Structure 1
Amino acid sequence: MEKLSHFNLVFFDYLSFALYILLLSLIGYYFGKKKKQDSSDYFLAGRTLPWYVVGSSYIASNISTEHFIGMVGAAFVYGICVAMSEWANVASFSLLIWVFIPFLMSAKVFSTPEFLEKRFNLSVRQFFAVVTIVSNIIAFLAAVLYGGGIVIQQLFNINLWTSIIIIGLIAGVWSIYGGLKSIAWMDVFTVVVMVVGGLLVTILGLYMLSGEDHSLVSGFKVMLERNSAQTGIWKEVVEKNIHNMVGTDHYSRLSLIQPVSHQVSPWPNLILGVFTISIWYNALNQFMIQRVLAAKSSYHARMGIVFAGYLKVLLPVIVVLPGLILFARYPDVLNLPWPEIRPEADKGYIVLLQTLVPAGLRGLFIASLFGAVQSTVSAVLNSTSTVFTLDVYKRMFRKNELDSHYVRIGRWSSFVIIIVAIVLAGFIGKLGGSLFVYIQTLYAFFAPPFAAIFVLGILFRRINGKGAIVSITVGFIFSILLKIYIQYDAAAPSWLTPFQMQAIVSWLLCVIVCVVVSLLTEKPRAEQVTDDLTINWKKINIFEDLGNKWYKSVILWWLIFVLLVACLVIIFF
């Protein structure tokens, strides 16, 4: 791929980036200036967030270098099927809106580990809290910092370690200073910048492909034609790598539905993936669900997720189409040896910025990339300190201190966590491979056991704490053994190679273990299966607070969201 040795900037680039940092800082200062001595205010924004802040912050926390670097690179290699990692969220978002939010909100908890203690027992809470802290640091913070470091390194020719340190320290400031309220309101501004900047890159990329026609329509047609890989070098490179991508004789880059052996998007994941990685990420993952817990009410929590759903519909235009554009323009990258293709593809978005964005506008794109990193780092940092302070430190060491003491511990733990993540981030590159695949593989390991017990615990009152803790333990042991089996046994079936398929098998085992152990042991106590913690199938207690006017109806806007995704899936089936 063509690329410049550095990123040439002019006065207006520096000005636009400086204005972004200034406005972001003013927002962070304004919403964080009130002394945060109350735990609810610091960790949950005083439960005051309206729906548009909940939704914006939810998405800003989600979008990061995994998308602008990892997902663009994955789309470059595998095609449009990568978009299903966004559009398939319609299922988990729907479960979150209709099944999980009513109980998470009515339980009045600070964190998902706290909810799991109320529903199961203290052991489940502590187990999940520890895993949350470890996964947040390794799978989120370190990976995001590494991806952001790559961006800064390639744009400005700065040492990778220096780049990671700069991003980590700058992004961590507002999380430590202002707590969730500062972060959430900053995210509203960040999402606007990211969407505008991302759309402009896609538009410029399509104009590049259009040639002399200089129209978006012709550029889009060229992109589709070349990604269909029916002729020329595009056909050659796809045929060369079919066995690495899917292990079949035919491969369609423009299909969302892929064979079971596909390395990143096997079709069973579209059905069962919602119950494995997606539920854990969207409903149990503290740095995502913390925005929901901070909503004004159940209505604002639900409408926030509906709004986030519309942003998810738009997201592939920003982070998948650029990958298809790159394949249309630089198909020769897939002529490299397979182990070199994915790391090279991860550089694709930077190449688009370097070659397409004119001087004067580059500051805006730097701001959008920095915003993607900053918002996720701040979100993960704040949520990790929340779990450490309230679910580990408070429970195990100092139970009866003043709120100001826990706020202080939250700030100090944030500082320590960001330092640890910075150190780990510097070593991720030595692992090789794709950033997107690295992150998704970690998700597939951490998610299935907790996703299984969470869903079962809300839907069925007979599930108990013993079933949950045995299921989690068996799930982790099984996942490790499964990894070893696939790695070292040449006879392992090809359909088990994709990380999503491993997650599905692990999840199914955890469900069976949880149900069997629960049925063989005593029933949960009455206070563990109240209407605030589980579904009452006689009352179906999930339809309250859905909006008092038709145009504010959660049902209406949710249905439109579902139909939009259904249409997209049908078009690219």
Structure 2
Amino acid sequence: MENTVVVDNEAFSLHYLDWLAIAVFILSLFLIGIITGKKERDTAQDYFLAGRKLPWYVVGSSFVAANISSEHLIGMIGSTFIFGICTAFFSWANIAAYSFLIWLFIPFLIASKSFTIPEFLEKRFNLFVRQFFAIVTLITNLFAFLAAVLYGGTIAFQEIFNTPFWPTVIIMAVFAGSLAIWGGLSSSSWSSLPTIIVLIVGGFIVTMLGLSSLAGEVGGSGIVDGFKVMVERNLATAGEWKLAAEAAAEHMPQQYNRMSVMLPVNHPLVPWINWFFIIFSVSIWYNALNQFMVQRVLGAKNSYHARMGVVLAGFLQAILPVIIVLPGLILFAMKPDIMLQPWADVKPEADQGFIYLVKTLVPAGLCGLVLAALFGAIQSTVNAVVNSTSTVLTMDIYKRMFHKKATDKQMVKFGIISSIVILVLSVLIAGFIESLKTSLFVYIQQFFAFFAPPFAAIFLLGILWRRINGKGASIAVSIGFIVAVILKTWELKADLPGYLTFYLPGDMPIWLVPFYNQAALVWVFSLIVCIVVSYMTVPPSADQVTDRLVINWKKINIFNDLGGRWYKSVVFWWLALTLLVVSLILAFSL
């Protein structure tokens, strides 16, 4: 028994075992989500923070599952096809931010007993910073996370099942977001445990089959021979791969090296300078300030479980390039002709790379597992974003601004209603993204680079330095955003009306064109403004700089809850993780 759907006018057959795998996986997710979320509506803490009782393995798996979604399986593979292995940077650079989270931020996030990051920012700074960050969180969650994930998943399933855009995105939103509405963070987090397992297994299947196929093309066998072929073809020194690289090089600045993670300072995606600056300008915001990521940390049993969860997430991030980067390199080795099309057509077709590899390589019976992995990736991120966005709306907007005496039942009810509204809005925004016809991964990264730097700067300073005050933070984020707008306007000057750009000089220097370089400049500027203004104004009050909110350099109050013996030790496993990632970076930068 087979059901056949159409992909790019070619038959894409799903065996009954594929349908069985998809059905079992989805039913398992819903069963786990329903059971774990059944009694989580009694209090706001239960619904929004899983009663603060998540163990480390759930914290870690859900931390990564919330992060990995369609923009990785679709957008990141597509970007790897175009730019090369440098996209592994987005996984490996996270480890530095994870280290900051483990050693510097978790002790204070847990000790503060905050429901949300905006709430923590009010305790440390003031109400203005809290509300500003809450609004930015809502914007980024809707546009850069939820809508983008739904869009990426929709175009993937459109290609597989040949369905119209709007019905596909609506059905996906309903199925993917329902668990977050039902059981809050508990349902979202526990259902991520099987999701990350299936995601890794499914991704490995695609990669291993791709490498084996490459080996077969040259008369070899196995993944080792396939890996050698992949590397050789991506070095692009001969044949059609050289022609493809030369075609791409016309749109790249300076050196175009597909097999290095260290690239020129004006590289459009990952200039080498960002191995330092992206950690501070974007990664700290994404991993330590981003509500939909940090919410599972805030829901951990204690500081130890939060830290060990992030260590586990680090190991998962270290191996993720095997399933979200290598497939892009495999695709280039198989289909270099994609790069020879008009440049405007390359990115959309590259974003279909994952589906092409699945339909070309994966046999009947295993397709279902791989497609289940794609759905699980979408579902886990949608659940995480819906839950975190409703938490911010409830705690930082509804309760803080409109109903300060709201009961737990009223807050949970508002959270459920707001989750439904969030899903509806995200579906509409996904349609807007479809009209842009741009690279999904680049679209998302540009959002991060625009909104993150000012808040990353004040958060780091606020944890490290007691003299930093609310006025310094408020002015820094305000002026920081103004600088970000000016830089983005300068970059787009040629395409904007003259009255919007009359105050700007000529063309932007080429080294400043990459959006991450702009983010680095905004971060440094915000840092300086925050320090200067803080020292020009009165010191913060005593309750804003307690040991629960700021590091005490006399006590170094960050070394509690590190575990006992080596196999439980946060220190041991963090050192092992650091050694692994440094070795990987060096291997692909020499």
Q: Same fold (TM over 0.5)?
A: yes
Residues in 1 aligned to 2:221 and 2:17: alpha-carbon distance in whole angstroms: 26
Q: Is the 8 A contact 1:6 1:156 kept in 2?
A: no
Q: Which runs of 4+ in 1 moved over 4 A?
A: none
Q: Is the 8 A contact 2:40 2:50 kept in 1?
A: no
CA shift, 1:5, in A, is: 3.5
Q: Is the 8 A contact 2:148 2:444 kept in 1?
A: yes
Matches within 5 A, 1:151-300: 151-211=156-216, 212-245=219-252, 247-248=253-254, 250-300=255-305
Residues in 2 aligned to 1:376 and 1:567: alpha-carbon distance in whole angstroms: 29
TM-score under structure 2 normalisation? 0.95
Residues in 1 aligned to 2:114 and 2:250: alpha-carbon distance in whole angstroms: 48
Residues in 2 aligned to 1:528 and 1:197: alpha-carbon distance in whole angstroms: 47
| 1:7 correspondence with 2:23 | no
CA shift, 1:342, in A, is: 1.2
Match for 1:533: what amino acid? Answer: L
**What residue number does 2:547 align with?**
531
1:37 is matched with which residue: 24, 35, 42?
42
Q: Is the 8 A contact 1:55 1:308 kept in 2?
A: yes
**What residue number does 2:151 align with?**
146
**What residue number does 1:50 align with?**
55
Residues in 2 aligned to 1:481 and 1:491: alpha-carbon distance in whole angstroms: 13
SS of match in other structure, 2:145: helix
| 1:508 correspondence with 2:515 | no
2:94 is matched with which residue: 85, 89, 92?
89
Q: Is the 8 A contact 1:475 1:507 kept in 2?
A: yes
Match for 1:227: what amino acid? Answer: N
Residues in 2 aligned to 1:253 and 1:550: alpha-carbon distance in whole angstroms: 39
Residues in 2 aligned to 1:281 and 1:499: alpha-carbon distance in whole angstroms: 16
TM-score under structure 1 normalisation? 0.98
CA shift, 1:429, in A, is: 1.7
CA shift, 1:214, in A, is: 2.6
Match for 2:172: what amino acid? Answer: I
Match for 1:539: what amino acid? Answer: K
**What residue number does 2:510 align with?**
494
Aligned residues: 570
**What residue number does 2:332 align with?**
327
SS of match in other structure, 2:14: coil
Residues in 2 aligned to 1:539 and 1:401: alpha-carbon distance in whole angstroms: 39
CA shift, 1:139, in A, is: 0.5
Residues in 2 aligned to 1:35 and 1:46: alpha-carbon distance in whole angstroms: 8
Residues in 2 aligned to 1:253 and 1:58: alpha-carbon distance in whole angstroms: 29
**What residue number does 2:534 align with?**
518
Residues in 1 aligned to 2:276 and 2:251: alpha-carbon distance in whole angstroms: 24
Farther-moved stretch of structure 1 (559-568 vs 483-492) = 483-492
Residues in 2 aligned to 1:273 and 1:434: alpha-carbon distance in whole angstroms: 20
CA shift, 1:14, in A, is: 1.0
SS of match in other structure, 1:276: helix
**What residue number does 1:418 align with?**
423
SS of match in other structure, 2:191: helix
Residues in 2 aligned to 1:188 and 1:495: alpha-carbon distance in whole angstroms: 42
Residues in 2 aligned to 1:16 and 1:35: alpha-carbon distance in whole angstroms: 29
Identify if the C-alpha distance between structure 1 residues 6 and 170 changes in structure 2 by more than 3 Å, giving closer, same or farther: farther
Residues in 2 aligned to 1:6 and 1:85: alpha-carbon distance in whole angstroms: 34
CA shift, 1:4, in A, is: 5.0
Match for 1:536: what amino acid? Answer: N
**What residue number does 1:569 align with?**
585
2:569 is matched with which residue: 547, 550, 553?
553
Match for 2:368: what amino acid? Answer: G
CA shift digits 1:145-174 (9 cap, x unpaired): 000100110000000111111110111111
CA shift, 1:337, in A, is: 1.8
Match for 2:96: what amino acid? Answer: A
SS of match in other structure, 1:9: strand
Q: Is the 8 A contact 1:5 1:157 kept in 2?
A: no
SS of match in other structure, 1:7: strand
**What residue number does 2:316 align with?**
311
Structure 2 runs not aligned, ≥5 long: 1-6, 495-505
Match for 1:232: what amino acid? Answer: G
CA shift, 1:491, in A, is: 2.1
SS of match in other structure, 2:432: helix
**What residue number does 2:497 align with?**
none
CA shift, 1:240, in A, is: 2.4
Residues in 1 aligned to 2:70 and 2:356: alpha-carbon distance in whole angstroms: 15
Match for 1:218: what amino acid? Answer: D
CA shift, 1:426, in A, is: 1.1
Matches within 5 A, 1:124-135: 124-135=129-140
Structure 1 runs not aligned, ≥5 long: none
SS of match in other structure, 1:255: coil
Residues in 2 aligned to 1:266 and 1:504: alpha-carbon distance in whole angstroms: 11
What's the RMSD between the two structures over aligned residues? 1.1
| 1:369 correspondence with 2:385 | no
**What residue number does 2:4 align with?**
none
Match for 2:411: what amino acid? Answer: Y
**What residue number does 2:499 align with?**
none
Match for 1:140: what amino acid? Answer: F
Q: Is the 8 A contact 2:40 2:186 kept in 1?
A: no
CA shift digits 1:69-119 (9 cap, x unpaired): 010001101110100110011110000000000100110111100000000
CA shift, 1:279, in A, is: 0.5
CA shift, 1:241, in A, is: 2.1
Residues in 2 aligned to 1:445 and 1:432: alpha-carbon distance in whole angstroms: 20
**What residue number does 1:389 align with?**
394
**What residue number does 1:354 align with?**
359
**What residue number does 2:459 align with?**
454
CA shift, 1:35, in A, is: 4.9
SS of match in other structure, 2:276: helix
Match for 2:235: what amino acid? Answer: S
Q: Is the 8 A contact 2:40 2:46 kept in 1?
A: no
Q: Is the 8 A contact 1:6 1:154 kept in 2?
A: no
Residues in 2 aligned to 1:479 and 1:175: alpha-carbon distance in whole angstroms: 34
Match for 1:24: what amino acid? Answer: L
**What residue number does 1:71 align with?**
76
Q: Is the 8 A contact 2:82 2:248 kept in 1?
A: no
Residues in 2 aligned to 1:35 and 1:361: alpha-carbon distance in whole angstroms: 35
Residues in 2 aligned to 1:401 and 1:480: alpha-carbon distance in whole angstroms: 37
CA shift, 1:58, in A, is: 0.2
Matches within 5 A, 1:440-479: 440-479=445-484
CA shift digits 1:446-470 (9 cap, x unpaired): 1001101100100111111111111
Residues in 1 aligned to 2:8 and 2:264: alpha-carbon distance in whole angstroms: 34
Match for 2:35: what amino acid? Answer: Y
CA shift, 1:65, in A, is: 0.8
Q: Is the 8 A contact 1:3 1:351 kept in 2?
A: no
CA shift digits 1:8-58 (9 cap, x unpaired): 212111111111111111101110111512011000000101100000000
